[in-house]
Structure 1
Amino acid sequence: MLVSYNWLKDYVDINDVSAEELAEKITKAGIEVEQVEVLNKGIEGVVVGHVLECVKHPEADKLNICQVDLGEEEPKQIICGAPNVAAGQKVIVAKIGAVLPGNFKIKKAKLRGEASNGMICSLQELGIETKFVPKEYATGIFVFPFEVEVGTDPLEYLNLNDKVLELSLTPNRSDALSMLGVAYEVAAILAREVKLPKPVMNEVKEKAADYIKITIDAKEDCPYYAARVVKGVKIGPSPLWMQMRLMAAGIRPINNVVDITNYILIEYGQPLHAFDYDRLGSKEILVRRAKQDEKFVTLDDQERTLKADQLVITNGTEPIALAGVMGGANSEVHDGTVNVLIEAAVFNGLTVRKASKDHGLRSEASARFEKGINPERTKEAGDRAAALMAELAGGEVLEGVVAADYLQSTAVKVSVSTERINQVLGTSITAEEVANIFTRLQFEFTEENGNFTVTAPSRRRDIVIPEDLIEEVARLYGYDFIPTTLPVGDSTPGKLSQYQQKRRKVRKFLEGAGLSEAVTYSLTSSERALLYKDDTTKATPIRLSMPMSEERSTLRLSLVPHLLEAVAHNNARQLDDVALYEIGKVYLIEDKIDNEQPNERENLAGAITGLWHSHSWQGEKKAVDFFVAKGILEGLFDVLGLNERITFEQGGKDGLHPGRTAIIKLDGDYIGFVGQVHPDEQKALDLDPTYVYELNLEKLLRAEVKAIKYEAIPRYPSITRDIALVVDDNVIAGNVEAVIKDAGGTLLKEVSIFDLYQGEHLEKGKKSLAFSLRYFDPEKTLTDEEVSKAHEKVLQAVAEKLGAVLRG
C-alpha cells in the first residue's frame, strides 16, 4: 500500500510529525514501512514558465525556438523538441544550473546554432514513471491545465513536494489497504481524531429507481449490490490534484469518471465500477453465476471463456462485467459517455480470487475483495463517487440508491481481561490504560472489574479471538516498553547434533575440494523421476494431485537428473568446467496406501565435467575422469573416518556408462554409486563427458565411528616391498587388495596399487597387478626375517584364494 503523506493530512492532523518519524511510529506499531519515497527526487531550480512565442528552428524540423517568461526581467530563449509545445502555454522550466532526478544538471547549450537557456520539462524528466503519466502527456512536455503564476514553484502544483510511505501489509491487515484505514491506524498511534469525508449529495428530482432495477441470483457470492445514476457528465481530464494523488498511489490517470472510481478505491478501500448507462442495453442489472463456456470481452479487448463458478454482472441477458475483476468492453466509459451507472457492491472474496486466477487478471480491486472489504462503507463509497462526479464531471445525481441487500452482518464481540493481557505480555498494564488503547483504536467496549468486551468494528475483520485484542494492546502500548525476562527453569544450551556436525563437515570438505553447492527443485517430470534412483528400494514415483506443470509434477527419487540439468545450463552459457554437489531430500514410498506420506531421505549427489586442473603456463591440463570423482569420495570417506569400511565394486546402472561405474558399499551394504553419465544421456543433454555420484547420506552419517586414536610419530624405519601378481582377467583389484590386507597382519600398514598391465608378454585372459606394501612396527626396527615371514603369508593367501602368481 502506497500512502501519500500530504493526502493523509486530509484525515489526520500530522503536521507536527514528519513522514520519516511517522514511518518509524507505524513500523513500531506493527505495520512495516519498507521505505519513504521522496517524490521530488532532489529536483532544484525548476519554475513555472510562460511560452510567449514558439517558432520552428530554421535548421531542424523537429525543434522549436521558444521565448519563455520565467518571471525575470527578460524572457529566456529555450530550444524544445516536444511535439506539443505551443505559444501561450504554462509549462515547467528547468533553468540553467537546475538539477533533475539522477543528478542531471542543466547547462547552457547551443542546438544547431541557436542558444538554449534551459529546458522545458516533461513529467518523465521530473522522475515520474512513464506508466503513470496521463496519455496526453506521455510523449511531450507537461502543460498546466489551469492558471498558475509564472516564476513560482511547480512542484507544489504537481504534489511533488510529497513523500510516499510504502506499507508492507500482512494478509490479516486488509483494513490498511485504504487511506481511511491508514488514517485510523495513525490516529490510534498518535491519539488523535479521524476526519472522515462527508459526501454532500445534491440530488435532482428524477428517481434512480426509474432507470435501473437490481436483481441478485447468486446471493452468497454477492450479498449486496447498490447502484447510483449520474446524468449529464462531461468526460475529460480529472483535476491535477487528483491525478497526482493517483500517481503517488501507483495508478495512471485515465479520465475524470474512471479516476474518481480509482480515487475512492484508494480512499475507502472499496472497489467501484462505472458503466456507460446508455450502452447497458436494458434497465436491469442481474448478478448471476456465468454459464459454462460463456463468452465475454473484457476492457482489455480480450475474449474470455467463463466458467460456471464465476460471477458476472449482466444487463439481464449478457455479461457486462466479471464481478470484482474487470468490466466489459461493451459498457466501458469512453469520451462520448453522458450518463453513468456507479456500481458499489460486496463480492465473495473466494469467488473473485478464483476468477482472477483463472483469467490471469490481478488488479487493485480484486486484491481488496479477496482480502475483505468493509461492507458498512460500501454505500457511502458509492455516494462519495456520485458527489465527486457531480462536482468534477458536471453531472446530476438522480435521487436515491437502488440496492439489493442480503447482508447478514452480526457484530463480533470478543472478551479479554486485564489479568490475561498482563499474563501473556508480562506487563502490569492497568485497566485504565487498556481502556485508553481501545478508545484510541475506536473500538466500542464495555468494562467491568477489568474484564473487557469489545465489539470489533466492521473494518477490522482480523479481530476474532482474545489474542487479537492482546496484540492490539501490545502494539499500541509499545513493544519497546514490554519488559524483557529470562526463562525460568532448567535449560539446555543449544548445539548441533552429531548428524548436523557431520553434514557441515561434508559441505566443508566438498567445497574445499572445489565443488560448488547447488539447490535444485524437489519436483521433476514423471519420465525423469525414475533416472538414477536407488535400485535397492522398490520406491515408485509420487505424482502431485494438482501439479503446476508436467515438468514439475512428480517428487524426485534422485538428485542427479536436476544436477545434470544445472551442468547443461552452465555449459550452454560457455561455462565448461563445472563441479557441483547437492545435499537434499528424495521421496521414497513403497506400495502406496491412501494418505500415506513418503519417507524423506537425505542424499548427497554431485556432478563434475570439464577440466579438473589447468595450469596453462606449465602446459598442464587434466580433464575430469572416473578417478577424479572416485578420489573426491575417498577423501570424503577418510574425513568421516569410514575409508576402511568402504568398498567400490564394479557394477552397472541405468543412465551410466557400463564400463565406468562403481557401486559403493558401507560394511557390505549398498549406499550409492559413482560413474560416467551414459553417452546417450550426455548427447541428449548436450554434455561433455560428465561424472556423477549419489550417496545415501543418512546411512553414511549415522554410521558408528570409533573415536580417533592418535599414534606417535614413528621413531623406527619402515620397509617397503613391491609385488606384481598375475591373475585372471575377471579378478577385481579391490578384492586382491582386501586379501593382501587381511593376510599381512599387524605389521602391514599400507597397501596401494600402482600398475596394471595386459599385453603380449602375458597369456590371454590374464593381467598383472602391481602393489606396494609397507611394513612397520612402532616398537622396534623390523628385521628382514620378520618382514619376509609376513610377506610370505601374503603371497600364500593370494595364491590360495585368487590363484595369483608372482610375475617373473
Structure 2
Amino acid sequence: MLVPVSWLKAYTELDVPMDVFCERMVMSGSNIEAVEEKGAEFENVRIGRVLRVEPHPNADRLVVVYVDVGTDEPVQICTGAPNVVEGAFVPVALDGSRIPGPLHGQEKVEGGVVLKAGELRGVLSNGMLCDFSELGFADSVIPVKYRDGIWIIDGEYEPGSDLVKTLGLDETVIEFEITPNRPDCLSMVGMAREAAAVFGHRLRMPETDCVRVSDELSSDHIKISIENPELCRRYAGRVVKDVRIGASPWWLQHRLMSAGMRPINNIVDITNYVMLEYGQPIHAFDLRHIRGGEIRVSTAANGEKFTTLDGQERTMTGDMLMIRDAEGSIAIAGVMGGLDSEIRSDTSTILVESANFSGDSVRQTSKKLGLRTEASSRFEKGIDPNLAGQACDRVCHLIEQLGAGTVLSGTVDVYPSPRLPVPCDIRPERIARIIGIDLSEEEIESYLNALEMTTEHADGKLRVTPPTVRQDLTAEIDYVEEVARMHGYDRLPMTMPKSNVESLRTQRQMIRDEAKTVLAGQGVNEIQTYSFVSPKSVDRIGLAPEDPAKRFVQLLNPLGEDTSVMRTVLLPNMLDVFVRNTSRSVEAMRAYELGNTFLSEASAEASDSGLPCERESLCIAVFGEDESFFTLKGIIEQVLAVLGVGPLDFEAESRAAAYHPGRCARISCGGKLLGLMGQVNPAVQETYDLARPVYAAELSFEDVYCLVDLEKKYRPLPKYPAMKRDFALVVTEEVRVADIEREIRAQAGELLESVQLFDIYRGGQVPKGSKSIAFSLTYRAGDRTLKEAEVNEINERVLTALKQKHRAVLREM
C-alpha cells in the first residue's frame, strides 16, 4: 500500500527523521517495501503563464509559445502540445532545468534529465512545457484529459513560482506491505493509528460533520432493505442534491495520484479518497436511475445478465449478491457498479452507498466473474462494519467542503446485528514468559492503550477490549504479540528458554524410522510426491469405475485439472517417477514412498464421521535387469520381519487391474489383508511407456501399525547343535508354496526352528503341469541334542501329511 507522508501527517504528528520513522515502524511489525523521495529529481522547474501562442513557421504540428516565468522578458518555447492556450498556467522546465522524465520515446534515466535550449525546425526553444509523465507521474494515475497534452494547472499562481514547492511535489511515499490479517492497515487512518501508537502521539480522526445540511431527509428519497443479512451486515445510504460534477482541487488529486489512483471527477475522487482514508469502499449512484426509490440487497437470479461500469455484460449465478432497485440489478455487491446508474456529467442527485459485505461472498463472486477491483480486494480481507457510517458521513463532509452538492439530513442505515468489541483476559506473567522480558502491568497497559484498547483489572488478569477494527485479535497470544511489537522487536533480549523440553518420538515415528532404515539398507531410495493429482491418474493404472480409489476428495480451489483431487493410491505417482528417471537413462531403480492417501466420505473405508479419511500407505517398486517378483517379495518380508509383523501369507490374486493377472499376490498377516504386490500389468506399463517390467507393492501402513511389535525379546544363544533336512517335492501348479510351508510348520511342531524355500524348478525332469519346490528345514531343541531317529520321525510325519493333503511326491535330489 502506497502511503504519502504528507497525507499521514494529517492524522498524527511525525516529528522524527524519515529513516528513524521507517526503522521504528519496521521494528513494530509494519514491513516497508520501499521509500520514494519524489522531489529529488526536480531542479529549477517553474510555474509559467502562457502569454500568447503563435503558429510555428516551419511545422504544422508545432506552435511557438511565449511564457511569463517571472523574468524581465517572456521565454520563447516550441511545443507540440495540442491543449496549450493563452492564459493557462503550465509547468515550465528552462535551459539547465532537471526533471524526472522520461522524455517521450526515451527510457527513464536515474537521477532525471537535464534540459538544454535548442532549435526545433529552425526556431529557438529555451525550455519545455511539461506533461505529467515527464514530471515523473506513472501513466496509470494521469488524468484522462492530460494523456495527450501538457499539464494545465488549475487556479491562479505567481508566474515563476517553484513548481515543486508550490504544488507539493516534493512528496515522500512509503510502500507498506500489509499482511492479510491486518485489513485495518489498508487505510491512511489505519497506518496513522500504528504510527501514533509507536511514537506516542494522538490520532486525529477525519472530520465527518456537515454544517450546511438541507432540511430534507435522505429517507424521503430512498428506502433500503437487506434480504441476506448473512452476506450484507450493514448498508448505509445518504442523499446529496444539487450535485455539480467537475474536477477536484489539486490537493485531492495529488493525494490520490501519490497513493496510486487516477483522478476522474470530484464525486468519484471523493469516494476513492475516503476508501483510501478509511479502508471502506464507497459507491455513488445516480439517484434518478434508482427506480422506485428503493434499494434491495439480495442474491442474483441464476443466469441473470448484468452490464458493469466497464461496459462488459456478465452472467450472474444464484449465489452472487446484488444491489437492486424496484425493477432490477444496479450493482454487483462489493465488486463493481452498473453502467446504467453511474455518475455522469449531468448527474444532479446521488445516493452515497457505504456498505459491509461478506468477504467470502465477494471473493467467490470476484473470482467467478474474473473481476477484481480495489473494493473487492478490501472486502475479501474483511472490513469492520462500524466503519460504514463514519465513511458515509466523511464523503458527505468532503462534498460539502468542496461545494460539490447539498447534503440531505440523516442517513438511511440498516444494521441488523451491530458488531460489538470482544474483550479478552490476558495474564502479564504469560507475556513475560513468552517474550522473555518482565514488563510491569503499567507498561503493558500503556502499550495496549496506545493502540486504542481499553483495559481493566479482573481476577488477577488484565481484561482488554480492542476496537472493532482489529478483527485479528481473538486470543491471548494475539495480545502478547501486540505488546512485543509495541515494545519493539529490536529491544527484546535474546533469552534462552527456561524450561527443559524433552522431545520424545511417538510410536508411529519410531515404526516409520525403523522401516525407512531397513529399506535404505536394501538399497531402496525414498521419494516424496505431490498429494494433489489429476483424477485421470488412476485411469492410467486401469482401475474400474466402481473402484473405491476413484472416489476422490475434490479441491474447491485447485491450481489446475492436474492437481484437482487428492490421491487415493501411491502407485501412479511412483510410475511417474520411474518414467522421469528412465527418460534420463536410468536403467535400474529401487524406490519407496511412505505417504498419506485420502478417501472421500463416499468410500466404505472413510471414517464414521462422514469426513474424508486420511490413511498412510507404503509403496515400494523396483525395475531393472536383475529385479524380479521375488526381489520385491524379499524386500517386503525383510521390512515387516524387522517390525515384528508375521508370519506373512502371499496368496495369488488375478483380479487387480494394475497388476499382471498371473504375477500378483495378496499380502496378509493373521487373516488381515495388508496390500498387494506383483508385476505391473503390461498394459499399464505400455501406457507409461516403460521398457522394462516394473514390480510394485502397495501396503496399508495403517494396518501394519496395528501388527507391529518392536519390543526387544531376549533369547539366549543356542547351546545345542541344529540338524538340517532338505527335500524337494513335486506338486501340481495349483498348489501354493504358502500352503506347503503352513503344513510343514503344523506337523513339525516346536522343534522346527526355520523353514526356507530355496528352489522352484519346472523342466524336463518334472511332469507337465507340475513343479518342484525345495525346502531346507532346521530343527533344534533348547534343552538337549536331538537324535537322528527323532528328527527322521518328524520329517517322515511332515512328508506323509504333505502327500495326503497336497499329493506331494518326494523327488530324488
TM over 0.5: yes
Q: Partners of 1:732 and 1:515 in 2: how far apart?
A: 33
Q: Within 5 A, what are the aligned runs for 1:61-72?
A: none
Q: Partners of 2:670 and 2:377 in 1: how far apart?
A: 59
Q: Within 5 A, what are the aligned runs for 1:498-513?
A: 498-510=507-519, 513=524
- With over 3 angstroms needed to count, the CA separation of the structure-2 counterparts of 1:662 and 1:473, relative to structure 1, is same
What amino acid does structure 2 have at the position aligned with 1:661? C
Q: Within 5 A, what are the aligned runs for 1:133-148?
A: none
1:36 corresponding residue in structure 2: 33
Three-state SS of the structure 2 residue aligned to 1:764 is coil
Cα offset, 1:314, TM superposition: 3.9
Cα offset, 1:398, TM superposition: 1.9
2:74 corresponding residue in structure 1: none
Three-state SS of the structure 1 residue aligned to 2:272 is helix
- With over 3 angstroms needed to count, the CA separation of the structure-2 counterparts of 1:174 and 1:758, relative to structure 1, is same
Three-state SS of the structure 2 residue aligned to 1:330 is coil
- With over 3 angstroms needed to count, the CA separation of the structure-2 counterparts of 1:33 and 1:438, relative to structure 1, is closer
Cα offset, 1:9, TM superposition: 3.6
Q: Partners of 1:451 and 1:775 in 2: how far apart?
A: 74
Identify the match of residue 166 of structure 1 among 177, 181, 200: 177
2:696 corresponding residue in structure 1: 692
Q: Partners of 2:386 and 2:505 in 1: how far apart?
A: 54
Identify the match of residue 274 of structure 1 among 281, 284, 294: 284
Instruction: Tell whether 2:237 aligns with 1:225.
Output: yes
1:313-334 deviation line (CA, Å, top 9, x unaligned): 3454232212322101222346
Q: How many residues align?
A: 723
Cα offset, 1:166, TM superposition: 0.5
1:602 corresponding residue in structure 2: 616
Does the Cα contact within 8 Å between 2:396 and 2:407 map onto a contact in 1? no
Q: Within 5 A, what are the aligned runs for 1:409-808?
A: 412=420, 421=428, 432-433=442-443, 436-437=446-447, 439-443=449-453, 457=467, 459-460=469-470, 476=486, 493-510=502-519, 513-521=524-532, 558-560=568-570, 563=573, 566=576, 579=591, 581-587=593-599, 595=609, 601-606=615-620, 612=623, 622=625, 625-637=628-640, 639-640=642-643, 642=645, 645-655=647-657, 656-667=659-670, 669-681=672-684, 690-701=694-705, 702-705=707-710, 707=712, 725-733=729-737, 751=756, 753=758, 756-759=761-764, 761-769=765-773, 797=798, 801=802, 803-807=808-812
What amino acid does structure 1 have at the position aligned with 2:697? Y
1:8 corresponding residue in structure 2: 8
- With over 3 angstroms needed to count, the CA separation of the structure-2 counterparts of 1:699 and 1:356, relative to structure 1, is same
- With over 3 angstroms needed to count, the CA separation of the structure-2 counterparts of 1:634 and 1:18, relative to structure 1, is farther
- With over 3 angstroms needed to count, the CA separation of the structure-2 counterparts of 1:344 and 1:505, relative to structure 1, is same
Does the Cα contact within 8 Å between 1:352 and 1:369 map onto a contact in 2? no
What amino acid does structure 2 have at the position aligned with 1:13? E
Instruction: Tell whether 2:301 aligns with 1:289.
Output: no
- With over 3 angstroms needed to count, the CA separation of the structure-2 counterparts of 1:408 and 1:652, relative to structure 1, is closer
User: Which deviates more from structure 2 when the two are superposed, residues 5-14 or residues 258-267?
Assistant: 5-14
1:192 corresponding residue in structure 2: 201
Cα offset, 1:658, TM superposition: 0.8
Q: Partners of 2:188 and 2:219 in 1: how far apart?
A: 33
Cα offset, 1:515, TM superposition: 3.6
Q: Partners of 1:378 and 1:530 in 2: how far apart?
A: 57
1:168-198 deviation line (CA, Å, top 9, x unaligned): 142xx44333220221122122211123334
1:299-356 deviation line (CA, Å, top 9, x unaligned): 344434556665533454232212322101222346x566573523233436954655
Q: Partners of 1:561 and 1:229 in 2: how far apart?
A: 70
- With over 3 angstroms needed to count, the CA separation of the structure-2 counterparts of 1:661 and 1:145, relative to structure 1, is farther
Does the Cα contact within 8 Å between 1:757 and 1:769 map onto a contact in 2? no
Identify the match of residue 332 of structure 2 among 294, 299, 322: 322
1:698-743 deviation line (CA, Å, top 9, x unaligned): 33244224527799999x9x99998765443333445566778896
Q: Partners of 2:132 and 2:639 in 1: how far apart?
A: 62
Q: Partners of 2:366 and 2:17 in 1: how far apart?
A: 39
Q: Within 5 A, what are the aligned runs for 1:36-185?
A: 36-39=33-36, 92-93=100-101, 132=140, 162-170=173-181, 173-185=182-194
Cα offset, 1:495, TM superposition: 0.5
Q: Partners of 2:133 and 2:684 in 1: how far apart?
A: 53
Q: Partners of 1:683 and 1:692 in 2: how far apart?
A: 15
Q: Partners of 1:101 and 1:217 in 2: how far apart?
A: 56
Does the Cα contact within 8 Å between 1:290 and 1:306 map onto a contact in 2? no
Three-state SS of the structure 2 residue aligned to 1:183 is helix
- With over 3 angstroms needed to count, the CA separation of the structure-2 counterparts of 1:40 and 1:546, relative to structure 1, is same
What amino acid does structure 1 have at the position aligned with 2:375? A
Paired-residue identity, %? 26
Does the Cα contact within 8 Å between 1:45 and 1:94 map onto a contact in 2? no
Q: Which runs of 5+ in 2 are unaligned?
A: 47-55, 57-80, 84-89, 94-98, 115-128
Q: Partners of 2:577 and 2:382 in 1: how far apart?
A: 46
Does the Cα contact within 8 Å between 2:307 and 2:313 map onto a contact in 1? yes
Cα offset, 1:8, TM superposition: 2.9
Q: Within 5 A, what are the aligned runs for 1:220-259?
A: 220=229, 221=232, 222-229=234-241, 231-234=243-246, 241-247=254-260, 257-259=267-269
Q: Partners of 2:44 and 2:798 in 1: how far apart?
A: 103
Instruction: Tell whether 2:221 aligns with 1:213.
Output: yes
TM-score (norm: length of structure 2): 0.67
What amino acid does structure 2 have at the position aligned with 1:651? E
- With over 3 angstroms needed to count, the CA separation of the structure-2 counterparts of 1:682 and 1:745, relative to structure 1, is same
RMSD: 6.4
Three-state SS of the structure 2 residue aligned to 1:347 is strand
Cα offset, 1:693, TM superposition: 1.7
Q: Partners of 2:697 and 2:214 in 1: how far apart?
A: 82
Cα offset, 1:444, TM superposition: 6.1
Q: Partners of 1:5 and 1:774 in 2: how far apart?
A: 89
- With over 3 angstroms needed to count, the CA separation of the structure-2 counterparts of 1:751 and 1:254, relative to structure 1, is farther
- With over 3 angstroms needed to count, the CA separation of the structure-2 counterparts of 1:124 and 1:594, relative to structure 1, is farther
- With over 3 angstroms needed to count, the CA separation of the structure-2 counterparts of 1:200 and 1:777, relative to structure 1, is closer
Q: Partners of 1:471 and 1:596 in 2: how far apart?
A: 38
Does the Cα contact within 8 Å between 1:529 and 1:541 map onto a contact in 2? no
Does the Cα contact within 8 Å between 2:566 and 2:598 map onto a contact in 1? yes
What amino acid does structure 1 have at the position aligned with 2:802? K
Q: Partners of 2:532 and 2:446 in 1: how far apart?
A: 52
1:643-677 deviation line (CA, Å, top 9, x unaligned): x7334332234322211112212355432111234
Does the Cα contact within 8 Å between 2:215 and 2:408 map onto a contact in 1? yes
1:63 corresponding residue in structure 2: none
What amino acid does structure 2 have at the position aligned with 1:164? E
1:70 corresponding residue in structure 2: none
1:341-379 deviation line (CA, Å, top 9, x unaligned): 352323343695465566565544245446654555545
Cα offset, 1:694, TM superposition: 1.6
TM-score (norm: length of structure 1): 0.67
- With over 3 angstroms needed to count, the CA separation of the structure-2 counterparts of 1:389 and 1:555, relative to structure 1, is same
User: Which deviates more from structure 2 when the two are superposed, residues 228-237 or residues 496-505?
Assistant: 228-237
Does the Cα contact within 8 Å between 2:41 and 2:111 map onto a contact in 1? no
1:616 corresponding residue in structure 2: none
Instruction: Tell whether 2:437 aligns with 1:398.
Output: no
1:488-517 deviation line (CA, Å, top 9, x unaligned): 8xx883310232112123345546512412
Three-state SS of the structure 2 residue aligned to 1:320 is strand
What amino acid does structure 2 have at the position aligned with 1:194? L
Q: Partners of 1:159 and 1:641 in 2: how far apart?
A: 77
Cα offset, 1:625, TM superposition: 5.0
Three-state SS of the structure 1 residue aligned to 2:259 is helix
Does the Cα contact within 8 Å between 1:571 and 1:687 map onto a contact in 2? no
